[in-house]
A and B are shown apart, each in its own frame.
Chain A
């Protein structure tokens, strides 16, 4: 096996409508509870292993106690993943349907510089052993962590490797629905998805008569079509799903209703209802209409259906009282997104939840900087699709809130109340 550079993907040919679409299968999803620590890291894009707090030994596979000193203090710590591929094989046979449908499949054994030996998937650009490599932890098609050995130096079309592409949701040559194309975030998303090689983009438009700044730029994107879509209207959602549902590979739900309201600052429930109608019920309507077709096409060739993206808010983790009803609607959407993720788990569709900090838009006018530019949010969404993570805390504020929340959720609740 000689080292080679991955050839670039080519645009898939038009699908033969007579052939049956293969039903999705997933790699074996079962993990012990302790091994799910690896998945927790992979979900946000880091490769972590258990490192003994008492003796410093790094270990794998995950264990309940330290393999050297039997300590139970085993925090997960980020690894650089550097090591040596010392053996490899190409599987031509597997008991599991997922791999049976994808053989030959290259795997290997890596001795990490940090100590342990690990079984890994092996990227096609990695030379034959012995070879220096870098191991990363990726979510596989079962949305569980799996390790893959990558070349130390990235190559030009590295993302197009068939094993790596199985673990990511790369927009290249995929057909994407953005539910609200005209907002600042929607426009930035459409532009960046087009730049990332998306095959087709449908930009949903709820109110065609409404001219928003910059919305003309959408018509300059050659592969973009504007489609009527009002997520508060069940019929509108169903009609669009009937028309394009069988073609969409990635759904990005960025439709959002945002007002600055707490319990005491706005009488009545109209604003809160409107927020729930878009942010929560909008997601429910979309999921019911687009979910089944997406699931059915999860193994549909090189440009299969892969992902569902929810633009939530860091306020979904802990209520931000000045935007209290908005926070509540995002918390509801987050909860529903977890339900969607569970239902998508066995059909190889990744549900990516994006938690931005305050976006630099009209409804966050009175929030002090730093605020997240719409283009920066769009970039972190495209990055998430390319890298294959499932939880994204976009921007400095979201990162900081997430860390405070993870450290002590009660403390964050009090801090936000004061």
Chain B
């Protein structure tokens, strides 16, 4: 029998930091990760030596791993992890770091994700992304995940009756959220007309369905509440988390992911229901996967995603605040940092430090991660329910 999972008592997440994004950069991943570490340290008024744990995610750090980075940044952590899980990296890094802090293997863990982007980086990354991608997808002309997500979106639309306008509504709302957020690379408002008239990339995907690769980094600290209090840091708490890899391998095509398998576990551990969630930071390299997260995380039943989209508003002040900083679709996808973006934004929302607009009275947020299109589908899924340090006082 499976043991009951221990709660995440005694864990505080703090010091959210974003290294400004750029479409292209002449710097290397080391620069972005180094600046991210400097940023979280400055936010917590700490020195390098105060860090005794380090967790790193990056696609463009090769030939280095987290190990090489310790010497590059001259830190001597007693706990080190490297999470190569793309869009699930943030949630998984949080899970690993939280347990390390709980168990005393480390007191102060810096979680960092960052990538650079040169003009040829994206092609090089996708051409040898995985053995299955190299053998069985890339030779078919699919520009990385565009082709796989076009197929997934095509299937979803046929099966569940989603329309282009449903996906457009999400993209338009996220752009509206991004207009408040200084870190977003997209500064122009997006209308439904702009969305529908944009050039086709891979039917049914249009330009604004696809994230734009860029350079940037994200980071945060995981520590104990007593340490955070001593430092005077606002922090968020962890109520529950899940992760899953290669869920439902016999599905003919992806129409759900690991969340559908693990959501009960998530809400049980957190002691909350979907209706208690004040905002969702969903992984959003393409809007179809956001609709799947809304379904699989229990906000509506499978197949009811399109109706849910039509019935809700996704802006920061809407009925269902979604990707409140604009998400990757409007900020940009800085490689593995894309897997941190939602988590960093959630910490900001729950600590009252949003760079853009704040969700009113947000006390519980859900962060969801999804990553690694290995062959025909994304393999890694994860989610975390976070809470503000103290519940907002009743109105």
Question: A-side interface residues toward B, CB under 8 Å?
Answer: 27-32, 35, 60-62, 67, 86-96, 98-99, 102, 105, 107-109, 111, 117-121, 129-130, 140, 142, 144, 146
Residues on A with beta carbons closer than 8 Å to the beta carbon of B204: 89
With A30-B128, A89-B202, A91-B146 already in contact, 6 other A-B pairs whose C-beta atoms are closer than 8 Å: A91-B147, A95-B126, A96-B143, A111-B253, A119-B375, A142-B139
Would you give 9 A-B contacts (Cβ < 8 Å), ordered by A? Answer: A30-B128, A61-B135, A93-B146, A96-B143, A107-B140, A107-B147, A117-B376, A119-B136, A120-B140
Question: Which B residues, 122 to 149, have Cβ-Cβ distances below 8 Å to chain A?
Answer: 122-123, 126-128, 131-132, 134-144, 146-148
Decide: B151 and A98 in contact? CB cutoff 8 A: no
Instruction: Give the most central of B141, B199, B200: most A CB within 10 Å.
Output: B141
Decide: A144 and B139 in contact? CB cutoff 8 A: yes
Q: What's the nearest-Cβ distance from chain A to residue B142, in Å? A: 7
Given contacts A92-B200, A119-B137, A129-B158, contact A86 B143 (CB under 8 A): no
Residues on A with beta carbons closer than 8 Å to the beta carbon of B199: 92
Contact of A96 (CB < 8 Å), options: B131, B135, B141, B205: B141
Q: What's the nearest-Cβ distance from chain B to residue A331, in Å? A: 32
Q: What's the nearest-Cβ distance from chain A to residue B346, in Å? A: 32
Residues on B with beta carbons closer than 8 Å to the beta carbon of A109: 151, 155, 252-253, 376
Decide: A91 and B151 in contact? CB cutoff 8 A: no
Q: What's the nearest-Cβ distance from chain A to residue B170, in Å? A: 20
**CB closest residue in chain A, given B210:** A93
Question: Which B residues, 151 to 174, have Cβ-Cβ distances below 8 Å to chain A?
Answer: 151-152, 154-155, 158
Q: Is B203 on the interface with A (CB-CB < 8 A)?
A: yes
A142–B253 alpha-carbon span in the complex (Å): 28
**CB closest residue in chain B, given A106:** B203
Decide: A87 and B202 in contact? CB cutoff 8 A: no
Residues on B with beta carbons closer than 8 Å to the beta carbon of A120: 140
**CB closest residue in chain A, given B252:** A111
Question: B-side interface residues toward A, CB under 8 Å?
Answer: 122-123, 126-128, 131-132, 134-144, 146-148, 150-152, 154-155, 158, 199-205, 249, 252-253, 375-376
A96–B122 alpha-carbon span in the complex (Å): 11
Residues on A with beta carbons closer than 8 Å to the beta carbon of B139: 27-29, 31, 140, 142, 144, 146
Instruction: Give the most central of A28, A86, A89, A117: most B CB within 10 Å.
Output: A89
A96–B120 alpha-carbon span in the complex (Å): 11
Residues on A with beta carbons closer than 8 Å to the beta carbon of B123: 95-96
Count A-B pairs with CB separation below 8 Å: 121
Q: What's the nearest-Cβ distance from chain A to residue B5, in Å? A: 29
Contact of B135 (CB < 8 Å), options: A31, A86, A94, A117: A31
Instruction: Give the most central of A91, A98, A129: most B CB within 10 Å.
Output: A91
Given contacts A93-B146, A95-B122, contact A27 B203 (CB under 8 A): no
Contact of B203 (CB < 8 Å), options: A60, A61, A90, A99: A90
Q: What's the nearest-Cβ distance from chain A to residue B216, in Å? A: 21
A89–B147 alpha-carbon span in the complex (Å): 7
A90–B203 alpha-carbon span in the complex (Å): 5
Given contacts A32-B134, A61-B375, contact A87 B141 (CB under 8 A): no
The 4 nearest A-B residue pairs measured at CB: A99-B141, A89-B150, A35-B135, A61-B136
Q: What's the nearest-Cβ distance from chain A to residue B212, in Å? A: 13
A62–B122 alpha-carbon span in the complex (Å): 25
Decide: A32 and B135 in contact? CB cutoff 8 A: yes
A120–B140 alpha-carbon span in the complex (Å): 7
Residues on B with beta carbons closer than 8 Å to the beta carbon of A95: 122-123, 126-127, 143-144
Decide: A119 and B203 in contact? CB cutoff 8 A: no
Decide: B134 and A30 in contact? CB cutoff 8 A: yes
Given contacts A89-B150, A99-B141, contact A60 B136 (CB under 8 A): yes
Residues on B with beta carbons closer than 8 Å to the beta carbon of A119: 136-137, 140, 142, 147-148, 151, 375-376
Residues on A with beta carbons closer than 8 Å to the beta carbon of B151: 87-89, 107-109, 119
Residues on A with beta carbons closer than 8 Å to the beta carbon of B142: 91, 94, 107, 119
**CB closest residue in chain B, given A26:** B139
Q: What's the nearest-Cβ distance from chain B to residue A98, in Å? A: 7
Q: What's the nearest-Cβ distance from chain A to residue B282, in Å? A: 22
**CB closest residue in chain A, given B135:** A35
**CB closest residue in chain B, given A91:** B202
Contact of B143 (CB < 8 Å), options: A91, A102, A129: A91
Decide: A87 and B253 in contact? CB cutoff 8 A: yes
A130–B148 alpha-carbon span in the complex (Å): 17
Residues on A with beta carbons closer than 8 Å to the beta carbon of B146: 91, 93
A302–B200 alpha-carbon span in the complex (Å): 25
Decide: B203 and A93 in contact? CB cutoff 8 A: no
A29–B203 alpha-carbon span in the complex (Å): 25
Q: What's the nearest-Cβ distance from chain A to residue B234, in Å? A: 43
A142–B134 alpha-carbon span in the complex (Å): 14
Contact of B201 (CB < 8 Å), options: A28, A86, A93: A93
Residues on A with beta carbons closer than 8 Å to the beta carbon of B144: 95
A278–B158 alpha-carbon span in the complex (Å): 61
Given contacts A28-B127, A107-B142, A118-B136, contact A89 B154 (CB under 8 A): yes
Given contacts A28-B127, A98-B141, contact A61 B132 (CB under 8 A): yes
A95–B143 alpha-carbon span in the complex (Å): 5
